[in-house]
Amino acid sequence: MRQSLSDNLRRQEFGLESPVGYWSVTTTETHVLSVDYVGDTPSPDLRTAPQGKLEMRLACMLGRYFKGERIDFSRLPLRFPEHSNFLASVLQGLQSIPYGECRDYQWLAEHIGNPRAIRAVGGALGRNPLPILLP
């Protein structure tokens, strides 16, 4: 079963340049959906100017992050649509790890109530749509 994004929440996408390449950022008016690495070449389909309060706030935070500042992304409103319930639970579990601390796959599997799913947790983290915000 997948989480769905309600029809009244329109996706918005913009491109962001960083010292390591270009990123595609997808949001709704109220939530961040993904931050994906695009590569060395910007996508011509993406607008480059963030619009709306959330996009501008996120672009500012990411800009500071790429300049080397330590940024706490934990207060950003995140949403995990179109992902399996398992992946969504893994990503929600990541949000419970305090800023600046590390946990292993076993801890996360136990934390989400599935202690035997250690490898599945690792696989889910490989599909993380928010790698900078939820490392």
Write out the chain's pLDDT in tens, 135 residues.
Answer: 444 555 447 889 999 999 999 999 999 999 999 999 999 988 888 888 889 899 999 999 999 999 999 998 988 999 987 778 999 999 999 999 988 889 999 999 999 999 999 999 999 999 999 999 998
Distances 3 to 6, 71, 113 between C-alpha atoms, Å:
9, 28, 19
Rounded Cα distance between 75 and 96, Å, is: 12
Q: How many CA atoms are closer than 13 Å to the CA of 10, on its beta-carbon side?
A: 3
Query: What are residue 35's phi and psi, to 5 degrees?
Result: -135, 100
Question: DSSP code of 41?
Answer: S
Asked whether 126 and 83 are in contact (CB, 8 A), the reply is no
Judge whether 108 and 95 are in contact, CB under 8 Å.
no
